[in-house]
Amino acid sequence: MVVVRAGPLSTVQDLGRHGVAHLGVPRAGALDEPALRAANRLVGNEPGAAAMETTLGGIAVRALRPLTVAVTGAPSPVRVNGRPAAWGAPVTVPAGAVLDVGAATAGVRAYLAVAGGVAVEPVLGSRSADLLSGLGPAPLAVGDELPVGPRPPFGPLPELVPLPAPPAVLALRLRLGPRADWFAPDVADRLARATYRVAPASNRIALRTEGPPLVRTRVGELPSEGMVLGAVQVPPDGLPVVFLADHPTTGGYPVVGVVPLADLAAAAQARPGTPLRFAVLPGRPARSVGQ
């Protein structure tokens, strides 16, 4: 395939790099994993095959040989040589034809999978672009030629596993800890009552918020600690930041809690301005090493 329109931000993503955080390497990978898995299923790929992740504005590519593709994630118009084609279903693209995935009508990120997968060179076991460290392929640009792997031995599976619609209100469960004790004793109640909004500065590294700041009861800063996917870090402005796939592996701001991985796909599809509510899970806060 050759990219003829790259959109605001389009990258190659698979299920990410695992087992390398001790080297300071983020996980990366698709922000909406269920959508990536569904797109790969539709074209007959293995679940973790590399595909293209677009952001709001879609992408257009020219097929250099006949291809079978599928688009999932954010609902978007799909066209082949200007003619409407199916979203959420296998689509045949003849050699020389242009496949155009238009701007998302809801949500943020669409996934374009091709039978055989996007066969860019893997780095540390993954073909994912990592915007924080710069590992993997660079964000896609007009003229980029993307190799496609051999067709999978089994054919497309046209039954799309139902995916949730992009959230009108983003609800994120939150397990308190390990640094909830750096905040006022009623931090759980404050988080449960507050309504935040997804900030425009959100990206693949983190979902940033706008709303009532959390008040610290301790001064100073922590030494750098390990960070996990879904960690909710609170910088000096008091506004929670939810770490996503390209997050740093260490950080020094206190982590008030952690969002379960199952909730992060919805975060990947929440547009700026979407109301956000935290649902604090019952139980004692997690404790950090040395507490």
Q: Which two tokens stand for residue 20?
A: 């390398």
Residue corresponding to tokens 């910088």: 235
Q: Which two tokens stand for residue 13?
A: 């993503």
Task: Parse the chain into domains and list their residue ranges.
Answer: 1-164, 170-280
Residue 285: the pLDDT is 61
Taking only the tens place, the pLDDT of each residue in 193-216 is: 999 999 999 999 999 999 999 999
Q: Tell me, what DSSP letter sits at residue 81?
A: T
Under a CB-based contact definition with an 8 Å cutoff, are residues 104 and 75 in contact? yes
Q: Is 170-280 a domain of CATH 2.40.100.10?
A: yes
pLDDT value at 190 more than 50: yes
Lowest mean pLDDT among 65-74, 151-160, 266-275: 151-160
What is the rounded CA–CA span in Å between residue 110 and residue 124?
25
Which pLDDT band, with edges at 50, 70 and 90, does 284 fall under?
low
What is the rounded CA–CA span in Å between residue 203 and residue 60?
22
Could you give the residue ranges of the DSSP H alpha helices within the chain? 33-43, 187-193, 264-268
Which pLDDT band, with edges at 50, 70 and 90, does 2 fall under?
very high
Taking only the tens place, the pLDDT of each residue in 44-56 is: 999 999 999 999 9
Lowest mean pLDDT among 57-71, 87-101, 160-174: 160-174
- Spatial strand order of the sheet with 91-93 comes to 10-13, 51-55, 109-114, 67-73, 91-93
Q: Which residues pair with 257 in a beta bridge?
A: 176, 232
CA angle 254–244–48, rounded 5-degree value: 145
Alpha-carbon distances of 285 from 164, 187, 256, rounded to whole Å: 30, 11, 9
Under a CB-based contact definition with an 8 Å cutoff, are residues 137 and 17 in contact? no
Q: Where are the beta strands (DSSP E) in the chain?
A: 2-5, 10-13, 51-55, 59-62, 67-73, 78-80, 83-85, 91-93, 98-101, 109-114, 170-176, 196-198, 206-210, 225-226, 231-233, 241-243, 250-251, 255-258, 275-280
Count of residues making up the chain: 291
Q: Which two tokens stand for residue 77?
A: 């118009």
CA angle 251–252–256, rounded 5-degree value: 90
Backbone angles phi, psi at 181, to 5 degrees: -75, 0
Taking only the tens place, the pLDDT of each residue in 104-163 is: 999 999 999 999 999 999 999 999 999 999 999 999 999 999 999 999 988 777 776 688
CA angle 25–31–33, rounded 5-degree value: 110
The CB density around residue 142, as the number of other CB atoms within 10 Å, is 10
The rounded Cα 18 to chain-centroid distance in angstroms is: 15
Does the predicted model carry a pTM greater than 0.85?
yes
Rounded average pLDDT over 9-35: 94
